[in-house]
Amino acid sequence: MRLMSCLCLTALVLAGCANTNLSGTQSVNANGLPAPKTVVVSAFTFSPEVVALDRGFTARLSRKLGEISEEERKQKTAARVSDEIVATIIATLREAGMNARAGAGETAAVSDETLIVTGHLRTIDEGNGTRRRLIGFGAGRSGVVADMSLAYLSGAGEKQLLSFTAEAQSRRRPGAVVTAPIGAATSAAVTAATAVGGVAAEKLSADVEAQARSLGHAAGEKIVGYAREQGWLSPAPPVAGRPQT
């Protein structure tokens, strides 16, 4: 029992990324469910106050598509940010050995065991009842969290498994879970995942890309940790230099 407790603790400590906070976790016991054959990650929805602004991205897009309206710029930038978050989750899950792809729940075959991942981006207050003026993605913008939900789809129907909130921020708050940042291999895998997923060829600006990838990696690592807890994946290897219990 002591060994199992240590393994679960290790999986939880590994969930997240540098300067990333994972909070508000709620789950129900999923014992008895076989490992999902596929993980389907859906596009993110945005709360109205979450704005994605990337002038470099939209300028490159305009050169390709011609002049587009301000509203269309916002929509395309938000879609591109969602694509980057989804691709990062997919790359993180694949690196752990899970068969993940982009899509929607309705594209999954009911006869197969499928894990459905959905997310909603919203703002977080400053802790005193007030909100930041610049919410979203882009220069000077922050304060975005992702409310994530996992559901298990099989021939027996759909079962809600887990909900949690992932937060990526430049300044860590007390109690935030901190683990390894995104490595070069994962970063390259994100780029490959976006290409396979048919994402627009234009890259996001570096700051916006970093925000999106940090948030996606946080969510992906939490999902990997949960999969280890359920026995769907092998326990995480011990971290070098950490004493074994």
199-223 pLDDT, tens digit per residue, is 456 789 999 999 999 999 999 999 9
Residue 219: helix, strand or coil by DSSP?
A: helix
Place of tokens 């230099």: 241
- Is the per-residue pLDDT at 31 higher than 80? no
- Is the per-residue pLDDT at 73 higher than 80? yes
176-194: pLDDT as tens digits: 444 455 666 666 666 665 6
The answer to whether 208 touches 57, Cβ cutoff 8 Å, is yes
Report the distance separating Cα 4 and Cα 2, nearest Å. Answer: 6
- Tokens at residue 208, please? 């916006």
What's phi and psi for 172, nearest 5 deg? Answer: -70, 135
- Tokens at residue 95, please? 């690196």
Domain coordinates in residue numbering, the chain? 2-229
Strands 136-137 and 114-123 come out as unpaired
Per-residue confidence band for 100, with pLDDT thresholds at 50, 70 and 90 = very high
141-153: pLDDT as tens digits: 788 999 999 999 9
Per-residue confidence band for 103, with pLDDT thresholds at 50, 70 and 90 = confident
The answer to whether 149 touches 27, Cβ cutoff 8 Å, is no
The answer to whether 236 touches 11, Cβ cutoff 8 Å, is yes
